[in-house]
A and B are shown apart, each in its own frame.
Chain A
């Protein structure tokens, strides 16, 4: 087990609260992002439990109308903007500079600023609960409902939502710029673009999406704020405004956003599968092109969220939506053939990666149904869509996040997470997830719309809703072994050493955790697996 001796100066920096609050070190900032994102994951999860508790049985038991609308609005908003996007940025922050052999990000102080905008933005969003009502027009905040102060968004929460998201969006844009300059300009010698780890590629494409798409959301938010507070008429049809203008501008961002939410997780899977199969990623170049293709095509499909408006050019958006399945399929096959004829070690990171593969597959497939426009007429705005989005974002991205947590926790902390607890969490979350979201396919087909606080007892939806609610609590329970695992491993986990997984990329060529400046020495870089080459004598040293 190789270890890198830290120079004396390295351990002399303060690790106290002041250091954490003022750090510009990408590794600490990455950890701050991850911890902050987990806090909001749990908050968003509590909101989800509120939803599932109400829907477990027909009849209004706990929350109705305005409060229920706040629950699902804040659940979606929190999970997307305060959990999954920043969580992936956090992992990128930690891992990308290490993987390219850089000492830090290009703009460390802007990096810190980008982070601190997040808890502030989150506070703004949640402040609505304390000031008369959080936003309640859905995370999609369709106008004119989001402008309707009487029967729609009743409290000041909608304005706080706009402000919080504007702040969070700015954090996103600055982070994207930071990643792009870092990746383009600060790679170690020998690390050409086509030797970058796939995680770096996915962060690169994600960052382009963040820089190009997020500002369009900002413009939409500003227009909505002007309509709500300064007498504007952008989305107000009774004064010459256009109701679906909001949807067009909003989805122009929010569709690329879903790739922001999943591409880095795909990158993480692409790191983990090769290590635990003990062979390289199958089709590296195809992967890069597929990722770029998804990023580009992702800008051309936004109106597939609007098929039922009757106001968009259906054939174009249907075709582009079908086409985006092709690069996604390419990735799927490349991952599967990475496993094929490998020698698989079923550590927890691999289990979650396999979970990603099988669940994201389902999510991609059920999405294809909606690409067929007439079928979308039946499925849009029903629980089928809720199933789809959770299979790709939970079965996909969240499983990817947990794979990343188990994989990189040793590098970040110097300690291994307990394998048995990890496997227990995996089994619980896998079962809970499928129990919660699989029945939603049937519920959507049977006609249950989204965003309803209650349903008729004779509609035939009772059993499936009860199953989904039980599943939700199983997911919640699966967090217990996880949190316990983190707690005991931080104090007493097995010492990890530099490279506990016999991995391929540069972050494992330094100590766990790395020194502030990341590397004392870098191995020679001649392929996308510099550490593998070093270990197996490819570089000739």
Chain B
């Protein structure tokens, strides 16, 4: 067999693959379609959806077998009142708006870099980052004033577990966006090469969608 190896990718002009450097071009599959890192991120998001499904399933199971819901705590009308999130959803609604806005700005950043607009990328990622941090601070403030804790019955447990893990995922997203911002400032992204920005934005949208589901479930339903 004298035909050259057909497994190595050869068609990536930006990288100059050489036959004596066989592992170059690994991540860049030139057969088209979705890129490896983005496919990886999508699968990761699938796994995260399943994680939250477990928590939501627990919440719905607990809620379906508890009557009334929110629970009425005998001898503690103050706590019972605090459990009534339906009465005061506005603060959480504010947080929701912040997060949805941040998804928009994140998407603007992606559209920007797809056009090669590095400035637009940096600006929009910065705004997204700031909005994300504001969300986290807002969530922390909410915890401090909400009037019940994790150990306050199943209501407290499910509330803090669901929102807490969502907050942890927002925090992870904030870290991710910080890295993207750093790399953007260092000029590492171009119209042809910005997989990381796409991947991070997919993750950020996912975090937003989970919050919308959470908000609807905890404050509205």
Q: B-contacting residues of A (Cβ < 8 Å)? A: 9, 101-104, 106-108, 173, 176-178, 180-181, 184-186, 188-189, 211-220, 222-223, 226-227, 230-234, 239-242, 245, 248-249, 252, 516-523, 541
Asked if A239 and B6 make an inter-chain contact with CB atoms under 8 angstroms apart, the answer reads no
**B contact residues, range:** 35 or more
A-B contacts, 23 listed (Cβ < 8 Å)? A107-B36, A173-B47, A185-B31, A212-B46, A212-B50, A214-B47, A214-B50, A215-B54, A216-B51, A217-B54, A231-B149, A232-B151, A233-B156, A233-B157, A240-B154, A242-B62, A245-B58, A249-B58, A516-B23, A519-B7, A520-B5, A522-B5, A523-B1
Asked if A188 and B26 make an inter-chain contact with CB atoms under 8 angstroms apart, the answer reads no
Asked if A180 and B43 make an inter-chain contact with CB atoms under 8 angstroms apart, the answer reads yes
Asked if B154 and A106 make an inter-chain contact with CB atoms under 8 angstroms apart, the answer reads no
For the residues of B in contact with A, the DSSP-based class is: helix
Asked if A222 and B161 make an inter-chain contact with CB atoms under 8 angstroms apart, the answer reads yes
A516–B23 Cα distance when bound, in Å, is 9
Of the candidates B8, B20, B26, B31, the one whose C-beta lies within 8 Å of that of A9 is B20
Asked if B157 and A234 make an inter-chain contact with CB atoms under 8 angstroms apart, the answer reads yes
Asked if A188 and B161 make an inter-chain contact with CB atoms under 8 angstroms apart, the answer reads no
What residues of A have a CB within 8 angstroms of the CB of B8 in the complex? 103
* Given A212-B50, A222-B165, A186 and B43 contact (CB-CB distance below 8 Å): no
What residues of A have a CB within 8 angstroms of the CB of B7 in the complex? 101-103, 188-189, 518-519, 522
What residues of B have a CB within 8 angstroms of the CB of A218 in the complex? 51, 54
Asked if B48 and A215 make an inter-chain contact with CB atoms under 8 angstroms apart, the answer reads yes
A107–B39 Cα distance when bound, in Å, is 11
Of the candidates A216, A230, A245, A249, the one whose C-beta lies within 8 Å of that of B151 is A230
Asked if B66 and A230 make an inter-chain contact with CB atoms under 8 angstroms apart, the answer reads no
* Given A233-B157, A249-B57, A242 and B40 contact (CB-CB distance below 8 Å): no
- What residue in chain B is nearest A521 (Cβ atoms)? B1
Asked if B58 and A104 make an inter-chain contact with CB atoms under 8 angstroms apart, the answer reads no
Of the candidates B43, B46, B58, B153, the one whose C-beta lies within 8 Å of that of A240 is B153
* Given A216-B51, A232-B150, A521 and B62 contact (CB-CB distance below 8 Å): no
Of the candidates B27, B46, B61, the one whose C-beta lies within 8 Å of that of A242 is B61
Judged by a CB distance under 8 angstroms, whether B71 is at the interface is yes
- What residue in chain A is nearest B56 (Cβ atoms)? A219
Asked if A215 and B51 make an inter-chain contact with CB atoms under 8 angstroms apart, the answer reads yes
What residues of B have a CB within 8 angstroms of the CB of A245 in the complex? 58, 61-62
What residues of A have a CB within 8 angstroms of the CB of B150 in the complex? 226, 230-232
Asked if B161 and A522 make an inter-chain contact with CB atoms under 8 angstroms apart, the answer reads no
Asked if B55 and A223 make an inter-chain contact with CB atoms under 8 angstroms apart, the answer reads yes
Asked if A252 and B54 make an inter-chain contact with CB atoms under 8 angstroms apart, the answer reads yes
Judged by a CB distance under 8 angstroms, whether B22 is at the interface is yes
Which residues of chain B in 5-53 are interfacial with respect to chain A, using CB atoms and an 8 Å cutoff?
A: 5-8, 20, 22-23, 26-27, 29, 31, 33, 36, 39-40, 43-44, 46-48, 50-53
